[in-house]
A and B are shown apart, each in its own frame.
Chain A
Amino acid sequence: MKGFQFNEPLLFERSRKGRRGFSLDEKSGRLTPSGTRPPDNLIRKNPARLPEVSEPDLIRHFTRLSQWNFSIDTNFYPLGSCTMKHNPRINEEVARFAGFAHVHPYQPEETVQGSLQLLFELERYLAELSGMDAVTLQPAAGAHGELCGILMIRAFHNANCESRTKILIPDSAHGTNPASSAMGNYKVVPLKTGRDGQLSPEVVRQAIDREVAALMLTNPNTLGLFESGIGEICQIVHEKGGLVYGDGANMNAILGKFRPGDAGVDLIQMNLHKTFTTPHGGGGPGAGPVAVKKRLEPFLPIPRIVSDGSDSLFRLDFNRPHSIGRLRSFFGNFGMLVRAYTYIREMGPEGLRRVAELAVLNANYVRARLQPYYHLPFDHGTLHEAVFSDKKQKETGVTTLDIAKRLIDFGLHPPTIYFPLIVHGALMIEPTETESKETLDEFCEAMITIAKEAQENPEQVKKAPHQTRLGRLDEVKAAKELKLRYEFPDQR
């Protein structure tokens, strides 16, 4: 890899007194009749030490910083569980239409019919995709959606005058699952994944009782396998009055092929920044809408968006006595909801089904090409992601971390590593459907080369990355010293 990579200091180090990036009204005070001043005790004595830079300096600063980042736009980004598919630019254009961007959430309903209509329709699309009856678009991310689900589960049982204390969660689950359950004050009971990489209905049967509020299930699971026992599992849980919560992070594999609601799942959150192409942004914003079956509808957060039918005006309904309340201010991450809506309208039903087909095809292709070189603990039924382990490479002392760092030297982003926890040294590869065969081959060839290096020249792998501006970073030092902000010279 070649290119310009500047050493760019912090904005505070670029800062020079008096520099301005923005022109402002010089004579503030012109408007007020007698130069009103707030009382002295309220005035800030120590102003915020924001940097002082010109626009050209600022633009260079962030341009250079961006050049240090790897992104989907740069090259292949097979982060398992994150669905790093291409982010269509029409999304960006549409979200910036003035009629979407410059609308205040408290405007009267008659002045925001476009937004309300969009949200109303998006709810219906997501319900159709997941096989559910009602949707809330309020949660701001997947984990937020999980919390929403957990609170609705609690509300459901309370309404039935039951107080249940446990949530069953497979040991392959994403960390947000137990964390969300804990925030809901539930005790987490882990369930062991079977030797075939799936959750066996028998294991659920052993663990289920009337203390279990719900089972949280990711399907396909984090090993990229379909939980074929899902129908039976739902029955087992329902028999004891429990609910089944679906973590929909892996929807990309099943769009148009399978609907969790049809199998008996009661509520599910979807990650719009994964399956529905809203951009990842370096870590958000996302959106985590939750779709539920009819019997859970009364518990959805307020407000609900309703349509008057006759005059077809869209309204906000706050009168929901059984609602769990609010999860965030206003209505949700509208800007991201617009993008997801745009994507769904662009793809249509056939297009979305094709997404799942190609995502699964691509993952299986990568799996097949890499299988001779890397250990695949669960080797049948791969859907949209494949999870390998470092078992073969460990013979020469090369770890998953080393393999990940060495991939960077080939201009590729590493897969998700060390997750799920049940696979030792997990390498979780999710190509997605927007990658060409050439790119997949480029990735496979790099991985195969690394496998060979691990055998013949392990040091090359262990000392990677070699090509980046910075080498491996000292995380121990970071945790010990905890320098979480720039310290001005007078602070040191």
Chain B
Amino acid sequence: MLQTIGTEGLDDLFRTIPKKLDRPLNLPSPLTEIDLRHHLRELSRKNRHGEEWTSFLGGGAYAHYIPSAVSPLIQRGEFLTAYTPYQPEVSQGTLQAIFEYQTMVAEIFGMEIANASNYDGSTATAEAALMAMRLTDRGKILVARTLHPEYRQVLETYLSTQEAEIREIPYRPDGTLDRQEIKKNLDKETACLIAPTPNFFGIVEDFSDLSPMLHQEGALLVTSTPEPLSLGLFKSPGEMGADIAVGEGQGFGNPLCFGGPSLGLFAARREFARAMPGRLVGETVDTEGRRGFVLTLSTREQHIRRERATSNICTNVALCALAATITLALWGREGFSRLARINYERAEALRGRLQNIQGFRTRFSGTTFNEFVLECPERPQEILRRLRDQKILGGLFLESWYPELGPSLLVCVTELVPEDQIDRFAKVLEEF
């Protein structure tokens, strides 16, 4: 090969690099495959995980049942090792799958269109705010205090370079958004309201009363849904008059995986298609009139529009979206609703039990989906420790984010929590 190239040695090929690294890299020696697997397994064993312990953790990452067919299908080399479908004739598999995904996301949110994915729920929320600012040409964003605190942090980071003002809207005693405060802060400078449902306290809301109010001032309603399984039971953003609806789709077929990769869901009104960030797959025909799919409206994306692009996003999370598509299809229309119901009922069962324990009570009266805030008599850390002794991960301690709540835990119950564990959880608290 060097002969064909016409050089003497490999080093000659690197002659254009003036100051090369003159020592070996300071990295550990290579591991053979057997040792590699052993080493990684030992590392993984230093973790406790949801298949050996019972977890009541939620807060934006949810453990739901992943049907067995998902893993083998997404590991098919043609899906796993393909890249962005720039050449549509040889990427119809990816393209049609994304088209089906876009349809499902739109359906779940009750919206007209959806994109091919964002990185996660937090960046989807931030991009929605930027989109609302573009559409309205305004800079004021109203954000619920009950929005996932990390989503709020990401929003602030994304807006830090824009001429934007963020106004926090507090919550009412029942845990829902304070409508009076929205009215007070809403004006002709407002681009949008970011309203979560379910919110970080697990409370489900109906924003149908808010969309007319916002629209009258020329502002948009952006809903943020970290647990979209809730939409198998509860009112969809579309039914509420949302203009943009975002959320986190990890719970659809993607394992928790210590928080990533995730799946940013992004849906909106059809009239806003050209302002949407991210990739879009559209239906078309080929030279013989046969149906096919292509990436479309790419003129709005970074590789063409460059500095005037709707976003800088290029690689998104296609394989996670595929896992979600397969999962939602296997759960199916019926299964989606039923699974939502089971989550709701399991959480209600635990909540009911805990309510009756001396010293504990449900903090908010608002309707919740599969997680709720439990007020504790004292020292939630101690409670969590006792639960840990029973190999139970008891919930999220909320004080660092919401000091006003006092000693409280955010407890989540999904369909994966066995009934006997719900019993055990309650027993530990009873003995506290």
Contacts and interface: CB of A to CB of B under 8 A. Distances in A.
- To the question of whether A and B form a pair in one complex, the answer is yes
A290 interface: no
A231 B330 CA distance: 56
A59 B73 contact: yes
Given A72-B81, A327-B154, A484-B102, A38 B342 contact: no
Interface in B117-172: 117, 119-123, 148, 150-151, 153-154, 156-158, 160-162
Contacts of B388: 108, 111
B180 interface: no
B321 to A, nearest CB: 8
Contact of B77 (A73, A142, A184): A73
Interface in B84-111: 84-94, 96-100, 102-104, 106-108, 110
Contact of A141 (B26, B297, B315): B315
Interface stretch (A87-95, A238-246, A391-399, A449-457): A87-95
Interface residues of B, number: 193
A254 B20 CA distance: 9
A70 B82 contact: yes
Contacts of B428: none
Contacts of B90: 68-70, 408, 413, 468
Interface stretch (B181-189, B214-222, B256-264, B372-380): B256-264
A280 interface: yes
B89 A128 contact: no
A254 B332 contact: no
Contacts, number: 651
A326 interface: yes
Contact of B258 (A68, A103, A178): A103
A32 interface: yes
Interface residues of A, number: 188
Contacts of B121: 329
A328 B260 contact: yes
Nearest to A119: B258
B84 A103 contact: no
Contacts of A59: 69, 73
A373 interface: no
Contacts of B7: 364
Contact of B157 (A52, A74, A151, A381): A151
A171 to B, nearest CB: 10
A68 B92 contact: yes
A102 B255 contact: yes
A331 B259 contact: yes
A46 interface: yes
A226 B107 CA distance: 49
Interface in B59-97: 59-61, 63, 65, 67, 69, 71, 73-94, 96-97
Contacts of B71: 96
Contacts of B322: 281-282
B328 A50 contact: yes
Contacts of B287: 471-472, 474
Contacts of B357: none
A71 B77 contact: yes
A100 B260 CA distance: 11
A21 B67 contact: yes
Interface string B9-47: 010011111111100111111110100110111011111
* In the A-B complex, the 10 residue pairs with the closest CB atoms: A330-B259, A99-B44, A348-B30, A73-B77, A281-B319, A105-B259, A114-B46, A283-B318, A21-B330, A285-B261
8 contacts: A21-B331, A73-B80, A141-B315, A144-B123, A283-B315, A283-B317, A364-B5, A484-B99
